[in-house]
Structure 1
Amino acid sequence: MVVSEQIAGGRIVAWHRGASPLVLPPPIQERLERCVATLLQPGGEPPVDFTEPVDEPALTRPESVSWQVFRNPVSLMIGGVAAVLLELAEPRVRSGVWDHSSFRADPLGRLQRTGLAAMVTVYGPHSKAEAMIAGVRRLHERVRGKTPSGRVYRASEPELLDWVQATASYGFIQAYDRYVRRLSDEARDRAYAEASVAARLFGATGAPRSEAEREILFRRMADGLEGSPIVFEFLDIIGRTPVLPRGLRPLQPLLIRAAVELVPAPMRRTLGLGPRYGLAFWQRGLVRLSARLADRVLLRGHPAVQACRRLGLPDDYLLRG
């Protein structure tokens, strides 16, 4: 395996070129394939075929940073939980999510729908991604109400959409950078810029297009963030929901703790997430090892692989660089 390294802004970004997939025993490979298929396919809904229409591009290109980041199921879970924690810190977003979603009653179903939406946004053909996003916008138009303090909100407010998009991008990029492979400043900026294409379609016209813009937005929103018992209810629910297959389930609490550690320290303090919610040194190493191994597993049913086939690329294209 040859590793290409680029030094930028004092950080190293390494891309594996010619990396061979990690060969797993067939029973384990099959179990992981089933797990990914289950997590990305909400019950009662028709499956999304990422291999069709042939040659139709996605919103982002195969050589993008996003195609690498969203391929890793371990860092994706970590980043997704971190993003939700940040979302729940904003009282209007928290009320919109908690009062108008099925998360408490059907957490696995909600996770499946959210995961599938992320996959369609990154890997889906342009036409399917735009149709899905249009459907989400129609749902947002109907979500409105008041926070417990009496503040009126609408889910379609640009400021709230910008926060949701910024926290999602931060979670996924930060999780990949910390637990899989260090990204250069240039690669991180590219990832934010790539995400802004879909963000605009969602209505988040002010979503950050770079790390610097993300930092500005976080500082601007900081004074309006607050803690809530809902944050701990969310952590309890996500901890009890069987997201990972049985053999890997002991890893799930560690991934949740890894997500907590991604939340910037001032925001962790605001949410009341003290050191006991973080990882021990050995746990951090285990999470990093799991995420790096997951980056070398070729899951042929994964949307990333199916999207490669749609565009005439080999199944292991994203392992090559």
Structure 2
Amino acid sequence: MRNVLREWQTELKQTFTGTREEVPPWVPRLAAGDDAGFHLPGSAVWAVHGGMPTIVAGIRALLMQALHPGALAGVHDHSRFREDPLGRLAGTIRWIFTVSYGSTEAARSASEWVLRLHESVRGSYVDGHGAARNYAANDPELLRWVHIAFTDAFLSAHKLWGRPIPGGPDAYVREWAQAGQLMGVDTPPLTEAEMRRQLDNWYDNGELRCDERVAETVAFIRDPPLHPVLRPGYRVLFAAAVTSLEPKYRELLGLRTARLGPIPLPVRLATRMTLAVVQLALGRVGPSEKAARDRLQRLGYPS
């Protein structure tokens, strides 16, 4: 069992951080800085982003983001997600944890770095109504879509498999709106109800679509090039992401909940067990949170 956990730990670190090192080089730098940053211990953001359901949330966010043809065009045309999917994942995780746990300067710098990368991401796509449109990754509409799809995914997964959120779901949406603002989203939603309303507007207005490109992306997300030791657990987590989707988005993506003939499989229980094993392999408190606590202790914040 110990050897299995050690192998899981090694491959999970490689998957999430892009390195087999004990701690990625950027993590210790989260202990630097002269202020508390945007989020503190006891916040809704720390509660959600410090939990294992974030793994399910990441899969759900990728599925949802694929439904906007403009967002998908940027990934399809400019990203190396096929050649280096784990590298792209590691970059996203680095930004999330830096904004969640880093100082104000670190969070702003990380977001500005991502926005600079986006400056060259431009092209054209066919929208949900069949009209040709130009896009830029830093377009306000696309930035809003990515932010809301992310927030919705992380909140939904945590509500299913996580612990109570300090202040409730609205607190998470309100706190993580700061990340949206850092990424150029003007007036991001501040409540769960408003977030859902804005998300559903894209669906109701026919802005979302599923075509061959979406189907290709979904197939890749369903079966990414993971190490064999991780594949059984990933199948459970993918099924969890599909289960967590609202039926209308699941149908639009061409996905179905896991079943054995007419009998639904116990995905929620299997997911809880899989996440428990992942937590056993990685530990209850991640290195990013530990680095942030070191900074806060140095600055005199209470433990």
Q: TM-score range by the shorter chain?
A: 0.7 to 0.9
Match of 1:251 in 2: 233
1:1-321 aligned at under 5 Å gives the runs: 27=3, 30-31=6-7, 33-42=9-18, 46-53=25-32, 56-73=35-52, 75-148=53-126, 149-181=131-163, 183=165, 186-222=167-203, 223-243=206-226, 247-275=229-257, 280-291=264-275, 298-299=283-284, 302-312=287-297
Change (3 A) 1:126 1:39: farther
Secondary structure of 1:47's counterpart equals: coil
Change (3 A) 1:99 1:293: same
Offset of residue 163 of structure 1: 0.8
**In the TM superposition, what whole-angstrom CA distance separates every residue of 1:255-298 from its partner, at most 9, and x where no partner exists?**
11111222221122222223458994323211023335656873
TM superposition score normalised by structure 2: 0.83
More displaced 10-residue stretch of structure 1: 119-128 or 209-218: 119-128
SS at match of 2:149: helix
Identity level (%): 27
Report the residue type matching 1:225 in the other structure.
L
Alignment partners' CA distance in 1, 2:193 and 2:286 = 36
Equivalent AA in structure 1 for residue 271 of structure 2: V
SS in structure 1 at match of 2:135: strand
Shifted more, 33-42 versus 127-136: the winner is 33-42
How far, CA to CA, are the matches of 2:253 and 2:223 in structure 1?
A: 20
Letter in 2 for 1:168: F
One-letter identity of the residue aligned with 1:199: G
Q: Is the 8 A contact 1:92 1:153 kept in 2?
A: yes
Q: 1:50 to 1:67 in 2, by over 3 A?
A: farther
- State the Cα distance separating 1:36 from its structure 2 match: 4.8
Which amino acid in 1 is paired with 2:182? L
Length, aligned pairs only: 288
What secondary structure, in the 3-state scheme, does the structure 1 residue paired with 2:37 have?
Answer: coil
Cα distance in 2 for residues equivalent to 1:239 and 1:253: 8
Report the Cα distance in structure 2 between the residues aligned to 1:58 and 1:120, rounded to whole angstroms: 10
Indicate how the Cα distance of structure 1 residues 311 and 29 shifts in structure 2: closer, same or farther if over 3 A, else same. farther
Separation of aligned partners in 2, 1:136 and 1:57: 22
RMSD: 3.1
Deviations, residues 144-179 of structure 1 (Å, cap 9, x unaligned)? 110045211111111111110001011111101112
**Unaligned 5+ runs, structure 2:** none
Moved more, 256-265 or 33-42: 33-42
**Equivalent residues of 2:65, 2:146 under 8 A apart:** yes
Gaps of 5+ in 1: 1-24
Residue type at the aligned position of 1:307: A
Cα 1:308–1:242 shift into 2, 3 Å: farther
